[in-house]
Amino acid sequence: MNTSLRPSCLLLTGSAIALAIALSGCGKKKVEEAPKVTASIACQAAGDDCKRFTLLHTNDHHGRFWQGSRGEYGMAARKTILDQIRKEVTEQGGETLLLSGGDINTGVPESDLQDAEPDFIGMNHLGYDAMAVGNHEFDNPSTVMDKQRGWSKFPWLSANIYRQVDGEWQRYFEPYKLFEVQGLKLAVVGLTTEHTAEIGNPEFVEDLKFTSAQAEAKDVLAELEEKHQPDLVFGLTHMGHYENGRHGSNAPGDVALAKSLKPGQVQAIIGGHSQLPVCMEGDTGEYVEDYGRDEPCKPDRQNGTWIMQAYEWGKFVGRADFEYYGGKLHLANYELVPVNTETKFGSYYPPHMLTPKDKETLELLRPYQRNGQLKLREQIGVAKADFIGKRKVVRYQATPLGMMIAHAQTQLPVPADFGIMNSGGIRATIKKGPIRYRDVLKVQPFSNSVTVTEMNGAELKKYLSRVALKTRGSGGFAHFSGIKMTVDCKAKDVDIRVVGDKPFKLTDKYRFTLPSYNAAGGNKYPKLKEKARDTGFIDADMLYQFIKKHDTLDPVNYDRAKDVRYINSRSSDGCGS
């Protein structure tokens, strides 16, 4: 049977707006239900031969079981949207599957402090059918992972992760799951970035083997054909999407996977890891610039395979409406349905236009949110003196607080050589005495991810010749940890002497951490694009872990301002006045 995928019609509309209006009940005339997506003319002509189903998907949840302070995201609003779509699809005679691209763990303290129990309980309630295993599922010991798998009423899928059992390597997770949808046999194959072996916590991944996703995919596809003869095969991955397969220092992602297989051998890949809305500009293989909610979204198409990803944190629910007739699969409609998501300009819709939150889901998850809030009050350490975080101080000179944060962010499972922290991301003082998690959240309230970038010495010198010159008083003024250098403010150059504990060399390679905000160009830092890898760790969470580990902290131990010397400037504390 020919299972190549050729769209008969790609309806890219702003129906998410209609959905929001229908659910909010705003306006004089209440709309009872969103406009329905009708079958294509070709599908109608095929009659009973046309099978219709919808794949719904999210990825990189990272602990966002509860809505944000402005009502954004959250599983309760997501449940409302899922129920509405399922009702619509069922009324048209179709069926739905709900899939997750993984990384349920790590990102929000209320979730992290409870081993993500509310997130997995919430996923059960929302009706997830399967999830890919993400690299952040290995942020915890295997005992926690086993507990999470026990909570889950859906399979964790990954064909390329192995562990030893009685001296033999065996798959740790189910490689695939078979579903019957509209009389069709669907196989969903799970794959995980092989980079997990390098970016995961060595303590938790050292006894595991992460094999080539491309090689495993070919083996699993052969096994499926021999044993089950599925009508359709979908990939459910946590590998990342990179424009035209340019994965840089990351492991090969979904595009490379699609290109490694026979054309159309896998009908679609539902992915995660790179935390992007995969919305493409025509057939260029390049992203639409600055995608915003309610805008049309065309998923990527590589080697006869659709590739989809729904950004991160449950900001969107990806919706793919498929039609199967004449022995072929067709993508009739695709959209990213916003879950009370902000606009591209950072603004939010007024409360009366927000998607209502499902009451049953709120009641289910509220006790977890309350328990998490209580845990935020627990003491995690002690400050022997004030760590000053006042704007008029941290934006004008390197401080122990800024340098401690920069150092804390280097403490990844595989530590970076040095760290950079922008002063604009430091918002409060840690006062002398007990330190609580809520104090950490006041210092770093923006939930920026920590990125890690690798450069050779020559590239690093060029990069720092721009970053280290950010002037005093600006949010871009940088605090450094783990590097010694002289910054010539007049010549606009840097003389790097030591990185980590080794003499600097132009030919050596170095890894440094940086908030995701700056890696994307915030504070007019050079955009790092694919060079910067999002670790998935949140800045405040890394500072929390650092404080908890060290217990008692003294600002004197982090006063390394002399490591970075400024010359040809009015002030020895930095460039500018």
Query: Mind telling me the catalytic residues?
Result: 60, 62, 103, 135-136, 139, 238, 273, 275, 391, 395, 427
Query: Are 462 and 448 spatial neighbours (Cβ–Cβ below 8 Å)?
Result: no
From residue 309, how far is each of 38, 204, 235, 268, 504 by CA, in Å? 24, 27, 12, 11, 40
380 — alpha (psi -120 to 50), left (phi > 0) or beta?
alpha
What are 331's strand-pairing partners? Answer: 322
Gap between the Cα atoms of 457 and 479, Å rounded: 20
Query: Are 478 and 468 spatial neighbours (Cβ–Cβ below 8 Å)?
Result: yes
Task: Judge residue 40's burial from the number of C-beta atoms within 10 Å of its C-beta, 0-12 exposed, 13-18 middle, 19 or more buried.
Answer: buried
Gap between the Cα atoms of 253 and 217, Å rounded: 13
- Buried b or exposed e, range 97-134, using 16+ CB within 10 angstroms: bbbbbbbbbbbbbbbbbbbbbbbbbbbebbbbbbbbbb
Which ranges in 432-521 belong to alpha helices (H)? 437-443, 457-467, 516-519
Sign, CA torsion 283/287/289/290: positive
- Buried b or exposed e, range 356-389, using 16+ CB within 10 angstroms: ebbeebbebbeebbeebeebbeeebbebeeebbb
Gap between the Cα atoms of 459 and 453, Å rounded: 11
